[in-house]
Structure 1
Amino acid sequence: MSDQFVSRLREKAVIVTGAGSGIGRATAIAFARAGAHVLGVGRRADALQDTAARHPGIAVLAADITAAGVPQAVIEAATGRWGRLDVLINNAGATAVMPLADTDAQRVNDLLALNVTAPSLLARAALPHLRAVRGTIVNVSSTYGHRPLPGAAHYAASKAALEQLTRSWALELAAEGIRVNALAPGPTESQALAAAGLPDTMVENIKQDEIARIPLGRRGDPEEVAAWIVHLADPGATWITGQVLTVDGGLELV
């Protein structure tokens, strides 16, 4: 990472949701290494403390962003600490294996609450602060936000919704100098599959199937994805908005 790149992010205030593991943890660390002040948000206090231990520039807040009033509280925690907010990374999300025959209203509602509603409310609460500094939002989608995923259609649909929010917000906020982009990672090493409640044998089978279909022959590393999230949020990327950047080892090509 060049000194120029670091200097553009130095002293910027960044919120990263889902910072307790995987892409979120890697993103929080990448921003902190670039000189930013980072608030990592997640449900598990112990996992967040592990993230904070990786860099002194990371503060953490254990919270359920789907709970009433929490999105506003998250924004206030960052602005109260640093007096500003420059970047919002909507990374927190969940995967749900749910074939149509097994579709359950509560599971659908819970999935949309985390993957669609919470990012929307965080963005709304962040808006006055982003306006003040001509800041940026990066939403973390998935390669399955724009390709079908049999057996997990509602997950794919939630990410498709996030991508359309990205494009619409980008147009809505462009006149105010606020950039909105999305990063769509392919299968990446994380705890997402295990967190979905799948047994270890099924998780391993899914991983091997994904590896077989990815042209570059492997799943991604969280650090590889995090690097591109930071690039999209970089103040130097002044003419990029409304884009969905896919980082998936070529999976989108097949």
Structure 2
Amino acid sequence: MTRKVAVVTGAARGIGLATTKLFLADGYAVAMIDRDADALHDAAGQLQDVHPVVCDVSHPDQVDAMAAEVAGAFDRVDALVNNAGVADFGPIQEHDFTRWRRVMETNLDGVFLMSQALVPHLRETRGAIVNIASISGLRASTLRVAYGTSKAAVIHLTKQQAAELGEWGIRANCVAPGPVDTKLALAVHSPEIRAAYHDAIPLNRYGSEQEIAEVIVFLCSGRASYVTGQTVASDGGFGSTGIGLPALRGQTA
């Protein structure tokens, strides 16, 4: 098989589904990975050249079975996008160990397990890994003790992968999205929260799933052939702010 193959986790919706569609538009076949079987099969049923695999990336046995199924469906893997993640926001004093582990096992353990399982295939193609972190992994914020810490760890894991896998031609990079207009964000962000984000983001808006997918697919492509170990904050400039008042924007003094 000469057609390139991408493996995308959390592919049933949101950024993962947008990334899947963009890979397809670029001529890839895609293994769509998600633990929500109904949503996964609904999404995959509307697409061609995809192979859905139900898998919880936090379970080593399921990841091993997924890798075997992907190897059976395709004879190569050129790109791995570790997008699956969970969010659990709340005050630090209310995060017990159960909540902490729930976030870590998907957001961090899942990235590790998926990468370890597919590295042998990526070696054969000199492929690429893109891990999805968050702006919360680059700058601390309230209510995100587990989430932000997990994403910061993903950023360092990406550097570790780049340092060690580069000798086999495998590139590893990270995308750190800022606020994105997903269904979840629309459901949980009040008008006041959205207005506050707009004030804090230099581009004055949320990003789209498509915009994040464009960065992911670029980093997997030959156009980024000398880029590895990097974290790209696709955040409308949110990570660059932190001083100054939004009310002063555009003022001359």
User: Structure 2-normalised TM-score?
Assistant: 0.89
The 5-angstrom pairing of residues 36-55 of structure 1 reads 36-55=28-47
The 5-angstrom pairing of residues 218-229 of structure 1 reads 218-229=205-216
CA contact under 8 A between 2:129 and 2:172: conserved in structure 1? yes
Larger of the two Rg values belongs to structure? 2
Q: Does 1:118 align with 2:113?
A: no
How far off is 1:153 after superposition?
A: 1.9
Q: Does 1:248 align with 2:248?
A: no
CA distance in 2, matches of 1:202, 1:219: 11
Q: Measured at CA, do residues 220 and 103 of structure 1 come closer, stay the same or move farther in structure 2, by a change above 3 Å?
A: same
How far off is 1:202 after superposition?
A: 5.2
Q: List per-residue Cα deviations over 1:156-197 (Å, max 9, x = no partner).
A: 110000000001110111111110000111111124458xxx
Quote the residue 2:248 is aligned against: none
One-letter amino acid matched to 1:134: R
Quote the residue 1:179 is aligned against: 171
Quote the residue 1:59 is aligned against: 51
Quote the residue 2:140 is aligned against: 148
Runs (5+) with no aligned partner, structure 1: 1-9, 195-199
CA contact under 8 A between 1:22 and 1:189: conserved in structure 2? no
CA contact under 8 A between 1:29 and 1:54: conserved in structure 2? no
CA distance in 2, matches of 1:125, 1:238: 23
Q: How many aligned residue pairs are there? A: 240
How far off is 1:207 after superposition?
A: 3.1
CA distance in 1, matches of 2:190, 2:97: 24
One-letter amino acid matched to 2:109: T
Runs (5+) with no aligned partner, structure 2: 242-253
Q: Measured at CA, do residues 117 and 143 of structure 1 come closer, stay the same or move farther in structure 2, by a change above 3 Å?
A: same
The 5-angstrom pairing of residues 55-94 of structure 1 reads 55-94=47-86
CA contact under 8 A between 1:52 and 1:58: conserved in structure 2? yes
How far off is 1:117 after superposition?
A: 0.4
Q: Does 1:208 align with 2:195?
A: yes
Q: Does 1:230 align with 2:222?
A: no
Q: List per-residue Cα deviations over 1:3-30 (Å, max 9, x = no partner).
A: xxxxxxx711111000111100100110
One-letter amino acid matched to 1:250: G
CA contact under 8 A between 2:31 and 2:51: conserved in structure 1? yes
The 5-angstrom pairing of residues 5-44 of structure 1 reads 11-44=3-36
Q: Does 1:107 align with 2:99?
A: yes
Q: List per-residue Cα deviations over 1:38-84 (Å, max 9, x = no partner).
A: 01111222322332244312221222222241112222222210111
One-letter amino acid matched to 2:129: I
Q: CA RMSD in A?
A: 1.7
Between the aligned residues of both structures, percent identity stands at 35
CA distance in 2, matches of 1:206, 1:27: 27
CA contact under 8 A between 2:5 and 2:76: conserved in structure 1? yes
